[in-house]
Amino acid sequence: MKELSLHILDIAQNSIAAEAETLRIAIIEDLESDLLTIKIKDDGHGMDSETVKKVVDPFYTTRTTRKVGLGIPLFKLSAEQCAGRFEINSHLGNGTEIIAIFKHSHIDRVPLGNMTDTLLTIINASEKMDLIYTHSYNGNCFSLNTREIKKLLDGVSITAIDVMRWLKSYISEGLQEIIKTEAL
């Protein structure tokens, strides 16, 4: 994939399919340590240990619409090709956690991509699921918690067009701010 955000979106779709109530996504960019860490954790159905071993195989999928499942194997390959590592932990009934670590400056590391649109797509895809997103850039942090936002909306749908417009602005400005703060 051309952007890491597309891997994140793919994993989020798996979380939605696993009927997760909460999806946590954490991005940690630590330039001093030269690391980019992506953590994705849900409280969905989870997988047994045999399935966890199989999901890194591109010729394994639980989908009936195709015979290959490239999302997780390509994400793993991306991390490993950038002097990083990949972990997947899951237990039936307790959800799944994926951790991908990349050497931030590695020449083969694809860009993080458009996280604003990725987050909006996830929110729009599953109004019922709560999304907790944190993004740290050299210690400066932005966070988004749709559970808190839904409470403030007092019954207005989080996917309403005006709310989505506000979310786009809020996320975009928040992400720009953590990087801009670093430049000061």
Q: Can you give the pLDDT at residue 66? A: 42
Number of domains in the chain: 1
- The structure tokens listed for 92 are 């039936």
Q: Which two tokens stand for residue 86?
A: 């990949």
Residue-level pLDDT, tens digit, the chain, 184 residues:
789 999 999 999 999 999 999 999 999 999 999 999 999 999 999 999 998 888 887 766 655 454 444 689 899 999 999 999 999 999 999 999 999 999 999 999 999 999 999 999 999 999 999 999 999 999 999 999 999 999 999 999 999 999 999 999 999 999 999 998 655 4
**Structural domain for 124, as ranges:** 4-183
Q: How many CB atoms lie within 10 A of CB 108?
A: 10
Tell me the three state secondary structure of residue 144: strand
Q: Give the Cα separation of 6 and 113 in Å (integer).
A: 8
CATH number for the domain including 60? 3.30.565
